Structure 1
Amino acid sequence: MKSLYLWLTVVDALNRDELTLPTLPDVALRVSRMCADPDVSAARLAREIATDPASAARLLRAANSAAYGGRPVADLQQAIARLGLPLTRTLVTRYALEQIHVARSPELVRILRASWVRSLEVAALAAVLARSRTPLNPATAMLAGLLREIGLLPLVGLVEARPELNDRPAELEAGLSNLHARVGVHLLRAWNFPDELAQVPVLSADLERQRDGPADYADVVCVAALQQQREHAGLLARLVPPPHSASHDRLGLPPRFNPARDARTATQLAAERVLLSA
């Protein structure tokens, strides 16, 4: 009942245009727009990122992380050249997203924190799958994974504005889990993300999604999310055969796919985790 009441509240807020949507920090929006221009220079992009010292420092750290060998880079322009435009955009957005995963009540803080940890794991594996199983851009796949649960942000804002929605925490968490995908699409469109990313929250949750053609970003996120859920399930749950999705088929993966069993995949996954944690 709580899930239904929450959904009706969300629908009413959307219809009245009263659902407060969080905004990305300006630097992330500007960098995203600039990276969409293939002719943008690393120098110009570096000047923009430098306006946010925290993001600049973290981007330098990522470029000098163990994921990259060779001579250390000393400035932002070199870091951007090493990372490339898609990964630069993804990492700057990642830093911005972490800043807005905030709440006031301890219960909602816990829910958002758990969501962020899941999103980082899904993002890392999505990048690996895109690189090894598809022609998709791994950095964009990483971004798609980070955005999978983004719909929780406006939902948490709504719950904090309507305390009566938070009188049963266990039911609330289930309700948020059921609703965040649809709200996520709404938020990502408001942020002007392209449809191939804006639709990921909903499409990646559809295990039976049928489509012609090769795997897309929703497919890699779907498989990555299923794997993340299985890794963190209890022992009894892991004994049950894992769910099979149409996305596994499009990626040419068996239902029992486990990245830890393949040394190369495990190494790549560790490198992506390092990038995301830098």
Structure 2
Amino acid sequence: MGRLKSLMLLLLLVFLNLVAYPVIAAGPPTCPADFGGKCSDPGEWEGEFFPGIPKIKYEGPSSKNTLAFKWYNAEEEILGKKMKDWMRFSVAFWHTFRGAGGDPFGAATKFWPWEDGTNSLAMAKRRMRANFEFIDKLGVDRWCFHDRDIAPEGKTLEETNAYLDEIVALAKELQGTKIRPLWGTAQLFFHPRYMHGAATSPEVHVYAYAAAQVKKAMEVTHYLGGENYVFWGGREGYQSLLNTDMERELNHLARFCEAAVAYKKKIGFNGTLLIEPKPQEPTKHQYASNLT
């Protein structure tokens, strides 16, 4: 009799799981933009972006509140400096607001409710406002960005720079005097023009475009009070040595970096220039594979 009850209970659990799974799997995403719908009107987003989420506070390791810091106490002094000055956390705009939770083998899995499925200037402004509400509620005072994360690319470089200027002006207003970028950088890897590199591209017009893009990205980082400027050469490398002139490419890369250093001094940017190393991906081998 006991075995029969156990079997019936097991069958009941399997049945409930089969019934519940389609409901969970078929549940609508937060935003239906990928299905051709609209998440909201094209105008300004009304209300909070993260409603019901209070400012995150330190409550100590014994707190049961999932929206509280257990160990990070921003104002606690350690060896003469506040913890927030030792740990300069920043909100990465790319990962936080542009990442869709997909991978090379699957579709997007994350949909913000304020997204409308476009990369318009109005949408960029909405994302920027969401960014600073998130920063405020999280209680950090730094953020970081790629230029093309925060503003759309236009038909020409001039149009693109105008879009970027408009978004940066909004960011300057929203960040006030307390918040500033930990770093800014130019996105020199996503657009098809950079498929064979930016500073190491065999096409001179691509090299020139990349230089102009870095110039503008460094200017806006400086304007926003950024502490650093980052170089990540995701496309600066090779897939095969059979069609690669490494000496020439490395010379071009060195000249590119020298020009960036010179321009940094010219505009009075006191931030540190950083190189982000990575051995590979998307290229088979990246020139800035390590810092040794």
TM-score band w.r.t. shorter chain: 0.3 to 0.5
Task: Name the structure where helix makes up a greater proportion of residues.
Answer: 1
If asked which structure has higher relative contact order (CA below 8 Å, sep 6+), I would say 1
The two structures have a TM-score, normalised by structure 1, of 0.33
Considering only CA atoms, is the larger Rg found in Structure 1 or Structure 2? 2
Q: Which has the higher strand share?
A: 2
TM-score (norm: length of structure 2): 0.31
